[in-house]
């Protein structure tokens, strides 16, 4: 079946056409119009501004997606649209557009959970690891999903394709939000995730030489930065990143008070130490939860899943402890409509839900 996916939950206007079946998915088109540069001027996403841009862009993005897929609206079997969670004004644009299409062309319409979409991005064609297909369910489930994005940090158990249980979440800042705030402290701009990662990669670890009596001297570079691993040893699988952000703030203040210039080398070191702390917590919590709940596989998804260190280290840890590991191709880590189409396929296949355009409603606070 051919599914039209529509996504407008935040600052990407996205439409995709997916050819879906029991043996996998073929992305016929996946068009995304990003507003990142526009919102960078404000240091973050402005909901009403995002909605205005969605209104301007959605018709063109829709037409481009159909053209790239070489299909017409008559060829579409199902429309899937994000109905939450997300920014209310932004969600309404995509939902109104989808409802109008469904009504005018007499197409079934299903509203889907944006976060489930991120999980299902692991089912999109993946050259980095195995493809996940319905026929492999016995190898994959139960599964544990680590969802990391600008608005969410969650550990979700998945007993099958459509049954989810939230077992851990952030108590304050989402990990992507923490990256944004620390990037702002370091003068790196928005979005913070890619900026922090790039600076961390430029960090050169301190090297020590020995004096004539064999004692180590002062390191050649580095100011000695290390940050706490919040809630690492808590008795649950929740997260907290607000205190880590504050630790960065205090470290910058203390360095300045001792006369240290916050130059590029220091920024690189702070970015490296912050990223290491975040990744350590995410990996250790995920592996602990996977072992406790006896899962077979670990999935990584969400915008922050594009982080190179997190992807590589979680894969190593998963394989070390015997779990199947999967993460989506980089093009599907950020918000896109292909993942919404996959979520729509499973919701349509597995649950007796209404497909009338009249019943599709927004739920900005939707959760597991």
Q: Output the known binding site for substrate.
A: 147-151, 180, 193, 307
How far apart (Å, rounded) are the C-alpha atoms in residues 132 and 142? 14
Starting from the edge strand earliest in sequence, which strands make up the sheet with 163-169, in order?
163-169, 153-160, 143-148, 297-301, 324-326
Pairing of strands 12-21, 24-34: antiparallel
Positions of E strands within 35-94:
78-84
Q: Output the known binding site.
A: 114, 118, 147-151, 180, 193, 307, 335
Q: Output the known binding site for Fe cation.
A: 114, 118, 335
DSSP 210: B
Task: Dump the DSSP string for 225-277.
Answer: -----TTTT-SSS-B--HHHHHHHHHHHHHHHHTT----HHHHHHHHHHHHHH
Pairing of strands 78-84, 109-113: parallel
Question: What SS3 state is found at 177?
Answer: helix
Q: Which residues are bridge partners to 32 per DSSP?
A: 14
How far apart (Å, rounded) are the C-alpha atoms in residues 95 and 350? 22
Q: CB 364: neighbour CB atoms within 10 A?
A: 16
Q: Tokens for 238?
A: 């929740």
- Give the closest residue to 222 by CA, choosing from 268, 154, 173: 268
The answer to whether 340 and 6 have CB atoms below 8 angstroms apart is yes
The answer to whether 193 and 306 have CB atoms below 8 angstroms apart is yes
The answer to whether 313 and 286 have CB atoms below 8 angstroms apart is no
Residue with tokens 């080398």: 265
Residue with tokens 């130059």: 263
């Amino acid at each position: 079946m051919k599914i039209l996916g529509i996504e407008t939950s935040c600052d990407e206007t996205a439409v995709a056409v997916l050819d879906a079946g029991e043996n996998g998915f073929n992305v016929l088109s996946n068009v995304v119009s990003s507003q990142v540069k526009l919102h960078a001027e404000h240091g973050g996403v402005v909901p009403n501004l995002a909605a205005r841009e969605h209104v301007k862009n959605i018709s063109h993005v829709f037409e481009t997606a159909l053209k790239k897929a070489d299909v017409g609206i008559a060829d579409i079997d199902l429309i899937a649209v994000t109905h939450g969670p997300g920014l209310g004004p932004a969600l309404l644009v995509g939902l109104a557009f989808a409802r109008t299409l469904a009504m005018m062309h007499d197409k079934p319409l299903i509203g889907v959970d944006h976060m489930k979409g991120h999980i299902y991005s692991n089912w999109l064609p993946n050259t980095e690891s195995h493809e996940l297909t319905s026929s492999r369910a016995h190898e994959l489930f139960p599964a544990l999903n680590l969802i990391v994005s600008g608005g969410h940090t969650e550990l979700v158990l998945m007993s099958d394709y459509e049954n989810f249980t939230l077992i851990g979440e952030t108590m304050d800042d989402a990990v992507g939000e923490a990256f944004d705030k620390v990037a702002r402290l370091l003068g790196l701009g928005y979005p913070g995730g890619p900026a922090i990662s790039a600076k961390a990669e430029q960090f050169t670890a301190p090297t020590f030489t020995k004096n004539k009596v064999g004692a180590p001297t002062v390191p050649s570079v580095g100011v000695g930065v290390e940050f706490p691993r919040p809630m690492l040893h808590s008795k649950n699988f929740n997260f907290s990143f607000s205190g880590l952000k504050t630790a960065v703030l205090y470290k910058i203040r203390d360095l300045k008070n001792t006369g240290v210039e916050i130059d590029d080398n220091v920024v690189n070191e702070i970015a490296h130490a912050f990223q290491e702390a975040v990744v350590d917590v995410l990996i250790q919590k995920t592996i602990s939860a996977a072992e406790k709940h006896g899962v077979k596989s670990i999935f990584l998804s969400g915008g922050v899943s594009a982080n190179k260190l997190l992807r590589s280290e979680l894969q190593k840890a998963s394989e070390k402890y015997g779990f199947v590991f999967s993460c989506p191709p980089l093009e599907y880590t950020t918000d896109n409509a292909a993942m919404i189409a996959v979520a729509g396929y499973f919701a349509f296949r597995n649950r007796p839900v209404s497909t009338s355009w009249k019943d599709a409603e927004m739920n900005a606070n939707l959760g597991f």
